[in-house]
Amino acid sequence: MKTLEQLNALCPSSLMGHLSIRFTEAEPGMVKAEMPVDERNVQPFGRLHGGAAIALAESVASAASWAMVENERTLVVGSEVSASHVGAAKPGTMVTAVGRLLHGGRLHHVWEVIVSNESGKTITICRITNTIIPPP
């Protein structure tokens, strides 16, 4: 299992860095991250953009799968995302995503990721499938 430092090292030069996503907890089968809601990720009506919530969820699931693989040269790629937006978050707040492993096979991982606002209300529910590509 990779460390929080290793997971957060993925962020600066990627979409995760642009959105200020930061991993806060990691253990086998669970990863947690947070993201501020601000002008970078809101829709025109002043609420968290659904695409930004999905980007947070997919970042959590991908990092969580990568944290589980032993060979550093193994690739993890998202292959399917399903999301339901059921709540909202306003600028100036923080959202949290918690990913839990549903299936951890050799070539596929399936995660459920719940994005919540500061009061714990669910914003987005995602199911994400990652494909694991071993090195040649």
Rounded Cα distance between 4 and 31, Å, is: 9
Could you tell me the pTM of the whole model? 0.97
pLDDT in tens, 66-124: 999 999 899 999 999 999 999 999 999 999 999 999 999 999 999 999 999 999 999 99
Element (H, E) at 4: helix 4-9
DSSP letters spanning 54-93: HHHHHHHHHHHHHHH-SSTT-EEEEEEEEEEE-----TT-
Query: What confidence score (pLDDT) does residue 72 get?
Result: 85
Q: Which of 34, 58, 72, 80 is catalytic?
A: 58
CA distance between the termini of the chain: 22
User: In the chain, count of helices (H) and strands (E)?
Assistant: 3, 6
Element (H, E) at 36: strand 30-36
Query: What confidence score (pLDDT) does residue 132 get?
Result: 98
Query: What confidence score (pLDDT) does residue 102 get?
Result: 98
For the chain, domains (ranges, CATH) are 4-133 (3.10.129.10)
Rounded Cα distance between 133 and 136, Å, is: 9
Told to judge if 58 belongs to the known catalytic residues of this protein, a careful annotator would answer yes
8 Å CB contact between 64 and 126: no
pLDDT in tens, 51-68: 999 999 999 999 999 999
Q: Taking Cα atoms as reference points, which of 67, 53, 50, 41 lies closest to residue 130?
A: 67
Rounded Cα distance between 113 and 125, Å, is: 6
